[in-house]
A and B are shown apart, each in its own frame.
Chain A
Amino acid sequence: MRREVRNKIPEMLSLTRNVRKQSVAMQHKLLLYWISMLLAVFAALLVVLSAMGVFSGTGERLHQVLSVHHKNVAATLKEQINLLTARGIDLSEQVSDGLDTLLYAKPTAELNNDAQSLKELEEAFYPKLNTALRSSPCNGVYLVMDATINTEAEGAEASRAGLYLRFANLNAKNAVHQDVVLFRGIADIARMNQVELHNRWKMEFDTSLMIGYTQALEQEAKKLTESVFWTPRVRLTDTWENILLLVVPIPGSDGSYRGICGVELGELYMQLSYPAQESEFGNMMTVIAPMEEDRLLLSQGLTGGQGGANLTAVDTLTVEEGRLCHRYTGEDGTFLGMHTKLDMEVVDGSSMYAVTLFPEDTYRTVRDSDRLRWIAASTMFLVATILLAVCLSRRFVRPITQSLDALNSDTETEVGHTGISEIDTLVAFLRTKGQSGGTASLPADIEELFNAFAGRAGELTTTERNIIKYYAEGREVAEVAELAFISIHTVRKHNLNIYRKLGVSSREEVMLYLELFRRCGRLDEIFREKETE
């Protein structure tokens, strides 16, 4: 088996050599050449289009990633807001029942200066608020009753009794380990329930600082679901936290509203619930904010985890709608993103939007990087096709130049096989034509002259013929003497014999004949010895 293989190898090599020697039609070579040229043009086009960002597809990829994330976030937020609204309404109904039981049809103001009743009410409502807080996706729950413990106290006109419970150690994932602190309410309520007072505790609410309190109480009686609204972002008094409050009026059986209640959505809670989501385009941030025409009012909304950006300090972003996503421009930077309207009406009648944002800079970096890679790849392709074209053209031209050189130098050996059938045929034709046309074209008398001279040259001795050869090569007399190892006198003597035998009178006349014979390609006739000799 091995032996067979060994025998086959030389055969295969020989076959390959023969194939190489086989002539290929110039048409095929030209076809290859044109293909390489077309590829080069195509590559150049690729480079241009890559530079224009046609191929990288970063925008489409961004749209895909962004829309999937935004859809999820908006759905979660919608669900959360619905749940919080439902919880607020439920709390309002429970508190309303409690107050009606105590007051019947009396106005809430009956509770003014009644410290004992207010304390009992707060005591009774504490478990309801505590349950609402622990079972809702929020970080605070409050209740304001439209009455004060002391109408004579400073600021009593805006001071209202109530309860405000907040988480002390916030954890967005669950409320099991979270401690509640009393932010507003009678201090004894905290002690009864073994919770601490907030560092900035006060007994009552200052309703002059509560956005929407008056609007809530003064609105016409209607379904609770229609009278619910949210405040814009406010700073929780004396603290470092920004919050949104859900405001639900508490209807009374006397036809008025007895106060408000609701939940708190704090910025820290928002940040923990909606951390910045890492993506190939940078950190995607979640924002809840109202919109006014083409402006996103960030200063009135809450921001989730910012992953390095500082959106809290941004006041507004101007929205410019785009095909794949929108551009949000602020004083300190530009963001890309999407927004969806939430069922979250703000006190001024505007609506909150769920917004997903990420810095445009990071997107640009990714896009430029993608584009650069496309440009680099297409440029590499272009260079490669140019190199291919260069190689092909060189290989294509080489046989032609070689053939021309060979024709010029009149050497037959190098022109034997070019590899291109058409050129091989052409060269053969030229050669044949050159050979046959060299003597046929001479006039008859000149031909006769040439033949007579060639006949006379046949009478030269070997030494004389050699000397003529030296002259044909362009040697001088002195050189001929050296080359033939004879003296100059002897050369001159041979010269005289040569002149005599050839029927000429001078060396110049000999040289003229030699040149004529060379041009006719018949030099060898002079140097050929006579056949008879």
Chain B
Amino acid sequence: MRRKRRLVSGLASFLLFMACAVCGGCGSREQEQPTTVTIWHVYGAQTDSPLNDMIDTFNATVGKEEGIQVQVTMVSNNNNIHKDILAAAAGDPGAPELPDIFVAYPKTVLAMPDESILVDYGDYFSEEELSAFVPAFLEDGTVNGRLVSLPVAKSTELLFVNKTAFDRFAKDTGAKLSDLKTWEGLYETACRYAQWTDDQTPDVPGDGKAFFVHDFHFNYFQVGVESLGEAFFDGEEPAFGPVFEQIWNPYAKAALSGGLWLQGGYATEPLRTGESIVSVASSASVLYFSNEVIHSDNTTEYVELIAMPCPVFENGSRTVMQRGAGMCTVKSTPEREEAAITFLKWLTEPRCNTEFVVQAGYMPVVQEAFDRYLPDSIESLTEQKYVELYKAYLETQAEYEFYSAPQLETYLETETAFEEHVRRQLISGRNAYQEAEGEDPMLLDRLAEENLKQFTEMMRR
């Protein structure tokens, strides 16, 4: 009797097991599909992108193990990503779909119609994990008390010089690289360069070249005013106080004389075409500099590019703009959010973070990367422009204070309007100067003053 019972219970168990096998077959298929996370980033733009290489590594290692695939769907610059993010977030007609991860400054987050669509990293990173980051960098990414922009790489503004062209100019005029340590010296040199280049072709008057190009004129004024002890902003608007006027003058005179590049675009452009030889730009722009300059006659000149700390005012503090956007994650499904966080944790792990930032001309964001890995990585650099870059970077870090732009809702509008108006104003001023040059010895001072007045009026409107 017992044997029979055992047989029956054995058969029943077998039937139950088989029933489970029949029903259970379906669930396992979905788990095998990897979770795809899309990303828009700025690291490398149209060149060989270091982040794309890192993403390939992630996909082939951690991503493969955990069933995560990071897919790059846009590599562009901050301005383009900013425009597309705002259009996508607002659901504008024809706008693309929001990616899972995108690179943005807090100004983009503040300009979004609803910033709550972004993940608060505080919900996904433990306190211990967040404590590994440089605290000031986390502060930069915190908007309205939520950490929405995770720092992955930080940069600052540096001075880049086409040393080959500068040496040619210096040989004739006695200009020195040390003149470029202060804004006063730089603008004076810019005026001399414009004159010198004009003199190279006596038969073509007024064809002097710009000496200097700044990525963001707005940053020059903001940091300059602050470094001289005055607040740049009065509430949400620029104050345009006495210090602003003080730093406007040398800048405007250089621009009116033709020593400043006033057209749009990034600072790397005129350096590549030889239309300018010195720039202040993000340290990360080293990726876009090439050691060759293509002149207007299509001749290519191979040049030496060096980097120096950003100029300061003679009587001002050593202050420089902190740059480097962070990564924002859009809320989606728990799986995709988790996948995005896994990737970001991997990217900010000290060793990976160092490997990534050193290729892209940035600084790491976690303290251990600075202490443990960065020195060795810098020592192993072979390309001269990167060696120069990190030399200037470390000098800046040792001697300068970093300035972070305030988080104002109107910041982006102000910045855009400022850049547009200041360039237009000075291009118009430059034309007026060329037309009236030689008529009045005080012309430059008068035009600088008039242009400031018109510019501030325009901004206030």
| A interface residues, Cβ below 8 angstroms from B | 115, 148-150, 153-156, 159, 166, 168-171, 173-174, 176-177, 179, 181, 183, 186-187, 190-191, 194, 196-204, 238-241, 268, 271-272, 276, 278, 280, 282-283, 305-308, 310, 362, 365-366, 369-370, 372-373, 376-377, 379-380, 383-384, 387
Q: What B residues does A159 contact at CB under 8 A?
A: 298
How far does the Cβ of B265 sit from chain A's closest Cβ, in whole Å?
5
Contact B29 A240 (CB under 8 A): no
B25 x A369 contact (CB < 8 A): yes
A384 to B36, CA, bound (A): 45
- State whether the Cβ of B46 lies closer than 8 Å to any Cβ in chain A: yes
Name 26 interchain pairs, CB-CB below 8 A, sorted by A. A115-B297, A153-B297, A154-B299, A159-B298, A168-B45, A169-B74, A169-B80, A169-B81, A171-B84, A174-B94, A177-B83, A177-B92, A179-B80, A199-B46, A199-B287, A199-B288, A240-B47, A241-B46, A272-B73, A305-B71, A310-B60, A369-B26, A370-B25, A373-B22, A377-B18, A387-B11
B272 touches A197 (CB 8 A): yes
B359 at the interface (CB under 8 A from A): no
In contact, A240 and B49 (Cβ under 8 angstroms): yes
From the candidates B29, B44, B272, B300, name the one contacting A280 in the complex (CB within 8 A): B29
- Cβ contacts under 8 Å, B297 to chain A: 115, 149-150, 153
Contacts of A183 in B (CB 8 A): 46
- Residues in B neighbouring A196, C-beta threshold 8 A: 264-266, 269
Q: Contacts A204-B298, A240-B48, A280-B29 hold; do A177 and B96 have CB atoms under 8 A apart?
A: yes
- Chain A residues, Cβ within 8 Å of B22: 373, 376-377, 380
Could you give, for residues 9-31 of chain B, a 1 whenever the CB lies within 8 Å of some chain A CB and a 0 otherwise? 00100110011011001101100
Q: Which residues of A contact B288 (CB under 8 A)?
A: 199
The CA-CA distance from A181 to B18 in the complex, in Å, is: 62
B36, A197: Cβ atoms under 8 Å?
A: no
B-side contacts of A387, CB under 8 Å? 11
How many A-B residue pairs have C-beta atoms within 8 angstroms? Tell me.
Answer: 152
| With A154-B299, A204-B298, A380-B15 as contacts: A177 and B21 at CB distance below 8 Å | no
Which residues of B does A touch, CB under 8 Å? Answer: 11, 14-15, 18-19, 21-22, 25-26, 28-29, 32-34, 36, 44-49, 52, 59-60, 67, 69, 71-77, 80-81, 83-84, 87, 92-96, 263-266, 268-269, 272-273, 275, 287-288, 290, 294, 296-300
> How long is the Cα–Cα vector from A308 to B290 in the complex, in angstroms?
34
Closest to B287 in A: A199
Nearest chain B residue, comparing its CB with the CB of A151: B298
A143–B288 Cα distance when bound, in Å, is: 24
For B32, give its contact among A174, A240, A362 (CB under 8 Å): A362
A482 to B151, CA, bound (A): 108
**Distance of A200 Cα from B83 Cα, bound (Å):** 23
In the bound complex, residues from chain B placing their C-beta under 8 Å from that of A239 are 46-48
Say whether, besides A153-B300, A169-B84, A369-B25, A271 and B71 are in contact (CB < 8 Å): yes
Within 8 Å CB of B296, what residues of A?
A: 115, 186-187
Contact residues in B for A238 (Cβ distance below 8 Å): 47-48
Assembly CA distance A204 to B297 (angstroms): 11
Closest 8 CB pairs of A and B: A308-B34, A176-B94, A369-B25, A169-B80, A376-B18, A169-B76, A376-B21, A150-B298
The smallest C-beta distance from A178 to any residue of chain B, in angstroms, reads 9
